[in-house]
Structure 1
Amino acid sequence: MKKKYAAVVLLTGVLMLNSCAANNSDSSKATVTDDIKSSGSVFAMDTYMTITAYGQNGKKGIEAAQKEITKLEKLWSVTDENSEIYTLDHSGGTEVPVSAETEELLNFAIDMHWQTKGALDITLYPVLRAWGFTTGEYCVPDDSEISALLECKGVERISVGNGKAYIPKNTEIDLGAVAKGCAGDAAAKALKEHGVTSALLDLGGNIQTIGDAKPDGTKWKVGIRDPFGEGSIGTLAVGECAVITSGGYERFFEKDGVIYKHILDPETGRPADSGLASVTVIGKEGRLCDALSTSLYVMGLDDACAYWRDSVDLEMILISDDGGVYVTEGIAENFSPKVENVTVIER
Structure 2
Amino acid sequence: MKRMLIFPLLLGLLALTGCNSDRTHASEESFFAMDTVMQFTVYGDDALLKDAQDVIADIEDKASVTNPDSELYAINRDGSGVLTGRAAELMEDTLSLCQRTDGALDLSIYPIVRAWGFTTGNYQVPEESTITDLLSHVDYNQVQYDVTTGIVTLPAGMEIDLGSTGKGFAGQQVAALLREKGVTSALLNLGGNVQTIGTKPDGSLWEIAIRDPKENVPMMVVSVNDQAVVTSGGYERYFEQDGQTYWHIMDPTTGHPADSGLRSVSIIGDDGLTCDGLSTSLFVMGLEKAAELWAQSDDFEAVFVTDTGEVYITEGLADHFALTEDYSDTPVNLIRR
TM-score normalised over the length of structure 1: 0.91
Q: Is it true that 1:47 corresponds to 2:50 in the alignment?
A: no
Alignment match, 1:76? 63
Matched letter for residue 32 of structure 2: F
Alignment match, 2:19? 23
Gaps of 5+ in 2: none
Distance 1:258 1:319 in 2: 20
1:63, distance to aligned residue in structure 2 (A): 1.4
Q: Contact (CA 8 Å) 2:39, 2:190: kept in 1 or not? A: yes
Distance 1:312 1:323 in 2: 27
1:230, distance to aligned residue in structure 2 (A): 2.8
Distance 2:301 2:30 in 1: 28
Of 264, 279, 286, the match for 1:300: 286
Distance 2:194 2:58 in 1: 20
Matched letter for residue 85 of structure 1: L
Of 188, 211, 223, the match for 1:237: 223
Q: Is it true that 1:7 corresponds to 2:11 in the alignment?
A: yes
Alignment match, 1:107? 92
Of 246, 250, 273, the match for 1:287: 273
Of 129, 135, 155, the match for 2:120: 135
Distance 1:227 1:234 in 2: 11
Alignment match, 2:143? 158
Gaps of 5+ in 1: 16-21
SS at match of 2:280: helix
Q: Contact (CA 8 Å) 1:103, 1:160: kept in 2 or not? A: no
TM-score normalised over the length of structure 2: 0.94
1:153, distance to aligned residue in structure 2 (A): 1.8
1:23, distance to aligned residue in structure 2 (A): 2.2
Alignment match, 2:304? 318
Q: Contact (CA 8 Å) 1:61, 1:192: kept in 2 or not? A: no
Alignment match, 1:189? 176
Of 221, 225, 229, the match for 2:207: 221
1:219, distance to aligned residue in structure 2 (A): 0.8
1:284, distance to aligned residue in structure 2 (A): 0.3
Distance 2:115 2:332 in 1: 38
- Identity of paired residues, percent? 45
Alignment match, 1:330? 316
Of 238, 250, 266, the match for 1:264: 250
Of 69, 74, 82, the match for 1:87: 74
SS at match of 1:7: coil
Distance 2:110 2:72 in 1: 12
1:124-162 deviations in whole A, cap 9, x for unaligned? 111111100111100001111100011122212211111
Q: Contact (CA 8 Å) 2:19, 2:201: kept in 1 or not? A: no
Q: Is it true that 1:118 corresponds to 2:122 in the alignment?
A: no
Matched letter for residue 135 of structure 2: L
1:91-132 deviations in whole A, cap 9, x for unaligned? 0x3x31220322222222221111111100010111111100
1:280-329 deviations in whole A, cap 9, x for unaligned? 00000000000100000000000010000110131001111100001111
